[in-house]
Structure 1
């Protein structure tokens, strides 16, 4: 058997539209891991809101968070863990100029810590609905460099905000505007994207590119699907993702598209 690295995005891919794992998906991914394949969650989500899915599946393999900025094995010390951070002064500068740039909520986050300028009811998964005194984003509390900044902003100011970050910090960071109804952008270290995390994991396990299979549905999956030997777009993926993919699932994320595809492709026991 060829050992595969199976890189799975979460939202819109492994999870259904209620942000849950189905019993079929859990069973399939467990079977793939039992058969010796490396199943790795590769997500834009921070660790704090993806650890539950890792544990539900029962994985022991590495996980990639923040679109490639963090690679680690949850619940254990892994001597090959990496975390690409950005200068905390960038977070404090954006915080200081927030009102003129149209920033509503700003969070700074790394593997184990979260700071925010205030509580928020927008996308409760990503933005904290409650914060402690120590988690308020300011120069006293922000003691370490964050891995990612997440900004919710006024859509009318998007061009100004992206331009300002590019002009002041473009040599050090990349900006990724999220899809979806909320106006949200993410700031990460320069050159960070999911393919970087997948490439790193493949090297740790000596898995050749042709034995990497990656699943995704949104713009932040594009590099990962292009890089993988087999990039698979979900049936519900945006058109640009289907264009770069080698294949598309026959069912969407609401109907176990990833699980059915993997079962067939890897000839997993039913």
Structure 2
């Protein structure tokens, strides 16, 4: 099958539930990038997706925050940015330093494009997931946050304050963030609240990348597993949905992998369905 671009999601798709990317998938992508445009399209921030971009040795645009930010980490070019709309005259840092909020939260990490701002280093799991030493990261202060675009807010709540998460979210929605947001759960981490830009779409972001790079939107192969991947899967030349996806996502794809994200599902599908990397297939490294 002839195609111009291979676009893929990360979580639940090309990385395992323990956040590992298969060496076989890495090998396949390193071979395919010689001939095709490879694009990561994820809900993650630049800072927690960059480790995979770096592992794959990519030089292409990366789509983050589900399409709210399109960026090339090599050239530092920003192709598109849609930040959260914050209420006028509010400094987001002051919000999290205010006593009624600071009594509830343990830490806050804010993504502003490729830059990460952190309130402190508490909750090391959260800090290590979202701060990449190879990308700019700064301790959050009122002066630092003044006038900054904000694409994602991830906060951890104190153990004895989890019952107050709902009220905190309502406050942020009502008095702080003035546009639609998306709130994502973290598996096995009920203390973490993940807020990203709403009304964005990975497929629209892919169209922007294609226009910028002179590629055809009719020649995209995409791989995903979530509701946020549906438009991408539906509109691509070939939309590949993971076995581990929910049924409502599977119904929108042209192809469902035989294996899940913990068992090389994406890699096997590309080899079997599209005839990629015959060397890998012939050596039976996938099985």
TM-score, scaled to structure 1: 0.82
CA drift of 1:217 comes to 2.4
Structure 2: which 5+ runs fail to align? 279-287
Alignment of 1:105-184 (within 5 A): 105-119=107-121, 120-127=123-130, 135-143=138-146, 144-153=148-157, 155-168=162-175, 171-183=178-190, 184=192
Give the distance between the partners of 1:187 and 1:93, measured in 2 at CA.
18
Q: Deviations over 1:141-174 (max 9, x none)?
A: 3242322211234553343333333333564341
Give the distance between the partners of 1:82 and 1:20, measured in 2 at CA.
28
Equivalences, count? 264
Q: Does 1:243 align with 2:275?
A: no
Root mean square deviation, CA, Å:
3.0
CA drift of 1:223 comes to 4.1
CA drift of 1:139 comes to 0.9
Give the distance between the partners of 1:93 and 1:246, measured in 2 at CA.
48
Alignment of 1:189-228 (within 5 A): 189-228=197-236
CA drift of 1:37 comes to 2.0
Name the structure 1 match of 2:63. 64
Q: Which entry has the higher C-alpha Rg, 1 or 2?
A: 2
Instruction: Please say if residues 117 and 140 of structure 2, whose CA atoms lie closer than 8 Å, have aligned partners that are also in contact.
Output: yes
Q: Deviations over 1:94-119 (max 9, x none)?
A: 4134247x443221122342222222
Instruction: Please say if residues 69 and 189 of structure 1, whose CA atoms lie closer than 8 Å, have aligned partners that are also in contact.
Output: yes
Cα pair distance change 1:179/1:217, threshold 3 Å: farther
Q: Secondary structure at the match of 1:135?
A: strand
Instruction: Please say if residues 238 and 255 of structure 2, whose CA atoms lie closer than 8 Å, have aligned partners that are also in contact.
Output: yes
CA drift of 1:229 comes to 3.9
Name the structure 1 match of 2:11. 11
Instruction: Please say if residues 217 and 233 of structure 1, whose CA atoms lie closer than 8 Å, have aligned partners that are also in contact.
Output: yes
Structure 1: which 5+ runs fail to align? none
